[in-house]
Amino acid sequence: MALPLKQIGTFLPSEISFLAENTSVSIVPRQALDVLELIGLNLPAMRPMRRVEVPLWVAIILKKQSRCNIIAPTWLSEDSLKAAYEAEASNMTRFSNKLPWEWIEVGELVLTSAPDDLACPPHIIRNLLRDIREIRQAKVRAGLKSLDPTYMQIDNVGAMELNEIRQFVTMTMNELRVLQNGRAEEEAEEEVEQYPGEDSDLEDTLETTEYSIPRDSSNFDDSLRSRSRSAAPLGERRPTSRAPAYEDDEGDEEEDLEMDESYLHTVKDNSSGQR
Amino acid sequence: MADARDAEIDDLINNLDRDYDFHPGGKDNAGYGRDQADNKQQDLQKLLNLWIAERTCPDILPYDEELISTLTDRLRAQVEFIEMTTTDPEAASQSKLKILLVESELERIKFLIRGYVRARMHKIDKYYLHLSTQDTDTKRKLSDAEQRFVLRRATQLKRFYDQRFLSSFPQALQRLDDNSPILPMVDTPDLNEFVFVRVLQDVPGEVVLSNDDSVDLQKGNIYVLPYKAIRKFLRVGEVELV
């Protein structure tokens, strides 16, 4: 609808790259250009062979027309990339801080738009970048094993790397949290018979709801409140997303299992709804 | 009375200073230009952050009326600039490059603003019942246009459902906003959802999470935390969503 499914809760790689185009780089213009007032900045006056700092997207436009040379950022040189690789390899549990936030995107953009401006052959840089990326990906994968529903810390991660794992991490952690809350409540509370919707049909459900629960939300006691919070992802989906077929074959399953099922169901439902 | 007059006089004096600062050429003018450029960069950065935050945050965030109107004003000015330059045959030949740059930036800013509004629209669509029935606090997060949209959408959908099928249901089942705690009908943003945040300033003390866990937020680090836990830091700008 307003937002394509692919863009909900995450960014497209192209959007991350778009963001990275706002980082500033040094260029050596080959042509004079007066100060140019833009919306997000004023471009400095350019004189041939005088270094100026401009956003990367300006540099790429000028470079395409061969009106400037891009000076690659210092971290994008053979030596510092090798150092960065060493740093990555020396500690397999943390990311090194030798690379900037947008390192994948900026590296890629500079390599494709200005391969001739690099101090050493572009394939060397490309290989180094790939090596670093692989070693960091291995760390990410290792980190994903220890996901838990409280929090996670990932320092010095890159924008693109973060975006790659964003949906997986947030969805997993959200689901883990729901499961954990469900379990905690099962232990703490016994009023299970008040919990409708296991297999009763819609009308029954709504009626029991009416009898047992006061309408006015200010009257809920705390136990109900906490229950409703944890049950929310389940409850809010059920009225709309439950298909008749699902109700039939789902008898007295375990609650955990059912959460998985209804979750899968919503995923399916969402994707078909979006089309 | 005397206070009011004093304030007025103070105002005048301040304005005088400012006027005076702007006038003499050279250095001060350059300073002013720099200020303005700084503002522009801050505005752009703000817009970028807004877009990112709105896309990643489970809840709808306050609408930045001021920023968007400043930027749309500038957009208009740039469009005028392009028109002026292209219609002038003499200038056109020399300033192709300039126009190219101005146009590219124009499109970039437009893309961002559109993205921002669309991300908000998505949430408004999703939580329209919650937003239309809510108190003024929630309403303040929406722009005027968005508020109108929410109300219109809610009434139109309600009417549509009524005419189609709700009117043939028993009275007790006709409500769309039955918010019983077990099966709430009104979708609300789940504030416990996890978000990625970068810490901009050290947060003193530990942030307590559920299950008695707590975490120490240190500058520059990136965490995945429940939105609820970092909401107040986000508001004062101690953390940002990434």
The string of pLDDT tens digits covering residues A101-123 is: 999 999 999 999 999 999 889 99
Prediction ipTM score: 0.78
User: Rounded to whole angstroms, how far apart are CA atoms B188 and B199?
Assistant: 27
Q: Which of A10, A27, A38, A52 to mutate to probe the B interface, most B CBs <10 Å?
A: A38
* Count of helix runs (H) and strand runs (E) in chain B: 9, 5
Assess B118–A contact: CB distance below 8 Å, yes or no.
Answer: yes
Is residue B92 domain-resident?
no
How does the average pLDDT of chain B come out, rounded? 82
User: Rounded to whole angstroms, how far apart are CA atoms B149 and B153?
Assistant: 6
Is residue B205 domain-resident?
yes
- At A147 the pLDDT is 85
- pLDDT over 60 at A261, yes or no: no
Assess B101–A contact: CB distance below 8 Å, yes or no.
Answer: yes
Assess A178–B contact: CB distance below 8 Å, yes or no.
Answer: no
- Count of domains in chain B? 1
**Quick check: A150 and B108 CB within 8 A?**
no
User: Rounded to whole angstroms, how far apart are CA atoms A20 and A113?
Assistant: 14
Fold for domain A5-156?
A: Ribosomal Protein L9; domain 1 (3.40.5)
Of B104, B182, B220, Cβ closest to residue A61: B104
Of A40, A43, A239, Cβ closest to residue B109: A40
A92-151 residues touching B, CB cutoff 8 A: 150-151
- pLDDT over 70 at B241, yes or no: yes
Average pLDDT over residues A67-95: 92
Helix ranges, chain A (H): 13-20, 56-64, 78-90, 103-113, 122-145, 159-188, 202-212, 222-241, 244-248, 255-274
- pLDDT over 70 at A196, yes or no: no
- pLDDT over 60 at B128, yes or no: yes
Q: Is the dihedral of CA A125, A98, B57, A264 positive or negative?
A: positive
**Quick check: B184 and A235 CB within 8 A?**
yes
**Quick check: B78 and A154 CB within 8 A?**
no
- Cβ-based contacts of B100 with chain A (< 8 Å): 61
- At A83 the pLDDT is 94
Of A10, A57, A150, Cβ closest to residue B104: A57
Q: Name the residue of chain A whose CA is nearest to B100's CA.
A: A61
The residue among A71, A72, A97 whose CA lies nearest residue A84 is A97
Q: Which residue has the tokens 């401006």?
A: A117
Is residue B117 domain-resident?
no
- At B188 the pLDDT is 85
Residue B186 φ then ψ, to 5°: -90, 120
Lowest mean pLDDT among A28-37, A150-159, A195-204, A230-239: A230-239
Q: Which of A146, A150, A169, A221 to mutate to probe the B interface, most B CBs <10 Å?
A: A150
Of A40, A210, A215, Cβ closest to residue B44: A40
Q: Name the residue of chain A whose CA is nearest to B195's CA.
A: A170
A222-251 residues touching B, CB cutoff 8 A: 224-225, 227-229, 231-233, 235-236, 238-239
- At B183 the pLDDT is 75
Lowest mean pLDDT among A129-133, A155-159, B89-93, B97-101: B89-93
- At B43 the pLDDT is 93
- At B92 the pLDDT is 63
Lowest mean pLDDT among A38-47, A67-76, A262-271, B153-162: A262-271
Assess B31–A contact: CB distance below 8 Å, yes or no.
Answer: no
Lowest mean pLDDT among A96-110, B19-33, B183-197: B19-33
Is residue B215 domain-resident?
yes
Average pLDDT over residues A55-60: 95
- pLDDT over 60 at B16, yes or no: no
The residue among A155, A72, A81, A160 whose CA lies nearest residue A117 is A72
- At A262 the pLDDT is 47
- pLDDT over 50 at B102, yes or no: yes
Q: What is the dihedral of CA B132, B137, B142, B144, to 10 degrees?
A: 80
User: Where in chain A are the domains?
Assistant: 5-156, 189-274
Average pLDDT over residues B48-63: 93
Q: Quick one: A7 exposed, middle or buried, by C-beta within 10 A (0-12, 13-18, 19+)?
A: middle
Provide the phi-psi class of A247: left if phi over 0, else alpha when psi is between -120 and 50, else beta.
alpha
CA atoms within 13 A on the CB side of A107: 26
- Cβ-based contacts of B195 with chain A (< 8 Å): 170
- At A237 the pLDDT is 37
Structure tokens given for B58: 């489970």
User: Rounded to whole angstroms, how far apart are CA atoms B70 and B61?
Assistant: 19
Other C-beta atoms within 10 Å of A51: how many? 12
- At A3 the pLDDT is 86
- At B103 the pLDDT is 93
- pLDDT over 90 at B52, yes or no: yes
Q: Which residue has the higher pLDDT, A64 or A191?
A: A64
Other C-beta atoms within 10 Å of B13: how many? 10
- pLDDT over 50 at B167, yes or no: yes
- At A73 the pLDDT is 93
Q: Name the residue of chain B whose CA is nearest to A148's CA.
A: B224
Label residue A193 by pLDDT band (50, 70, 90): very low
CA distance A195 to chain B (A): 7
Write the pLDDT tens digit of every residue in B187-216: 888 888 999 999 998 887 777 776 667 788
Label residue B179 by pLDDT band (50, 70, 90): confident
What's the domain range around B216?
Answer: 190-242
Q: Which residue has the higher pLDDT, B206 or B151?
A: B151
Is residue B214 domain-resident?
yes
Question: Residue B229: which CATH number?
Answer: 3.40.5.60
Assess A273–B contact: CB distance below 8 Å, yes or no.
Answer: no
**Quick check: A39 and B44 CB within 8 A?**
yes
- pLDDT over 70 at A86, yes or no: yes
Q: Which residue has the higher pLDDT, B108 or A214?
A: B108
- Cβ-based contacts of A266 with chain B (< 8 Å): none
Is residue B196 domain-resident?
yes
Lowest mean pLDDT among A6-15, A203-212, B196-205: A203-212
Q: Name the residue of chain B whose CA is nearest to A212's CA.
A: B180
Burial B156-190 (b: 16+ CB within 10 A, else e): eeeeeeeeeeeeeeeeeeeeeebbbbbbbbbebbb
Q: Name the residue of chain A whose CA is nearest to B182's CA.
A: A228
**Quick check: A194 and B182 CB within 8 A?**
yes
Write the pLDDT tens digit of every residue in A167-189: 999 999 999 988 888 877 777 76
Label residue B89 by pLDDT band (50, 70, 90): confident
